[in-house]
């Protein structure tokens, strides 16, 4: 069974540009999560989808971040316009049911110059 996949693995962009990160959860997992780790800090929750609906987006830092999960399969996280402080590793995770173990993808390392 394939795990959670994320694309791209690395992205280097300039301040003010737009970047879109993609996450493909484990097949059959209705729950999809986005997390972010800024250098030297804890991994922080961004938001949670149940199928195509946003269940909790309390961790989204500001309105420059937009997450979608059309069709309830893969998800995208768009940062527009990117700022220097957005640099970090963005993780996606998925779980089958409420409270189950969340399995993480390899992350996307975003660098904003």
Partner 1 sequence: AQKITQTQPGMFVQEKEAVTLDCTYDTSDQSYGLFWYKQPSSGEMIFLIYQGSYDEQNATEGRYSLNFQKARKSANLVISASQLGDSAMYFCAIISGGYQKVTFGIGTKLQVIP
Contact status: 45 vs partner 1 (CB under 8 A): yes
CB of 14 closer than 8 Å to CB of 28:
no
Out of 67, 69, 90, 91, the only residue in the binding site for partner 1 (CB under 8 A) is: 91
Pairing of strands 53-56, 65-68: unpaired
81 lines the binding site for partner 1 (CB under 8 A): no
How many residues lie near partner 1 (CB under 8 A)?
27
Task: Pick the stretch among 11-19, 20-28, 54-62, 66-74 that binds partner 1 (CB under 8 A).
Answer: 54-62
Only segment of 12-20, 22-30, 67-75, 91-99 that touches partner 1 (CB under 8 A)? 91-99
* 33: contact with partner 1 by CB under 8 A: yes
> How far apart are the two ends of the chain, measured CA to CA in Å?
37
Residue 26 per-residue DSSP state: P
In the list 55, 76, 96, 111, the residue contacting partner 1 (rule: CB under 8 A) is 55
Beta bridge partners of 58: none
Both structure tokens of 54:
């946003």
Residue 22 belongs to what H/E stretch?
strand 19-24
């Amino acid at each position: 069974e394939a795990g959670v996949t994320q694309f791209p693995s690395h992205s280097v962009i300039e301040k003010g540009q737009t970047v879109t990160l993609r996450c493909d959860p484990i097949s059959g997992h209705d729950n999809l999560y986005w997390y972010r780790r800024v250098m030297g800090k804890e991994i922080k929750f961004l938001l949670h989808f149940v199928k195509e609906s946003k269940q909790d987006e309390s961790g989204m830092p500001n309105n420059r971040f937009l997450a979608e999960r059309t069709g309830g399969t893969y998800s995208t996280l768009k940062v527009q316009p990117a700022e220097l402080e957005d640099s970090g590793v963005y993780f996606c995770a998925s779980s089958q049911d409420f409270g189950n173990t969340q399995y993480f993808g390899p992350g996307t390392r975003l660098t904003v110059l």
